[in-house]
Amino acid sequence: MNLLDECFAANRLWAKDAVENDPEFFKRLEALQRPEILWIGCSDSRLPPNEIIGRRSGEVFVHRNVANLVEHTDVNCLSVLQYAIDVLQVKHVIVVGHYGCGGVRAAMQSQPLGLIDNWLRHIRDVHLWNRDELNAIADLEARTDRLAELNVEAQVANVCHTTIVQDAWRRGQTVTVHGWIYSLHDGLLRDLGMVIESPDQIPPEYRLFY
Ligand code: CO
């Protein structure tokens, strides 16, 4: 059996098991999608969101791109964020980075990779803003991992600076933004301790409507 035939065979088995365990499973999901979490993560094939946090179908709304970036002109990411908050009413937006991220590593090197260098430019900005701290870390792997953490922090801030999150806060909707980082080494998630849930927690220069 070739790879794609295997995918279909596995899918049939999965659908059969799902109905055997819970006859109403698909009927319920078809009628209603009510996730409480928006996961904004890296496209890396080793980070399947639902699997890592033990959530079933219907429980996590997902946006992924290379190096989990949230850019204020990225209509794709902003549309996911707006739909998740305004329509699905998710309670938590979680930016999930990871150690050993190829995107972060590439952004620390001079080797050109093509179009993606324009996307990864955002990480070079984070590097520049934190140049002193990063340059003080001698070990390249440790420096890359620290930049991955700083990148998550920057993207959490970007989520909070959007009109979407600020509008939600203004109308009294509870939306909490978090930053997590995943280790490919041990499969564990770490909370970077950012819990942002009100405009008081963002710099006044980014505040809207207050
Ligand atoms: Co990555």
Span from the CA of 10 to the centroid of ligand 1 (angstroms): 27
Asked whether the predicted pLDDT for residue 210 surpasses 90, the reply is no
**Residues measured by CB to lie within 5 Å of ligand 1, the ion:** 42, 44, 101, 103
Span from the CA of 184 to the centroid of ligand 1 (angstroms): 10
For range 137-142, the mean pLDDT: 97
For range 102-120, the mean pLDDT: 97
Span from the CA of 55 to the centroid of ligand 1 (angstroms): 21
Residue that the structure tokens 């801030």 belong to:
157
Span from the CA of 42 to the centroid of ligand 1 (angstroms): 5
Q: What kind and span of H or E run contains 37?
A: strand 37-42
Asked whether the predicted pLDDT for residue 160 surpasses 80, the reply is yes
Contact between 68 and 76 under an 8 Å Cβ cutoff? The reply is no
Rounded to whole angstroms, the Cα distance separating 61 from 53 reads: 13
Asked whether the predicted pLDDT for residue 1 surpasses 90, the reply is no
pTM of the model: 0.95
Nearest to 92 by CA among 62, 51, 71, 56: 62
Asked whether the predicted pLDDT for residue 52 surpasses 70, the reply is yes
- Mind listing the domains of the chain with CATH numbers? 1-32 (no CATH), 36-199 (3.40.1050.10)
Asked whether the predicted pLDDT for residue 80 surpasses 70, the reply is yes
Q: Which tokens in the block code for residue 139?
A: 């070990």
Known catalytic residues are 42, 44, 46, 98, 101
What is the strand order of the sheet 37-42 is part of?
Answer: 60-65, 37-42, 92-98, 176-182, 189-196
Backbone angle region of 197, left / alpha / beta, with phi > 0 → left and psi within -120 to 50 → alpha:
alpha
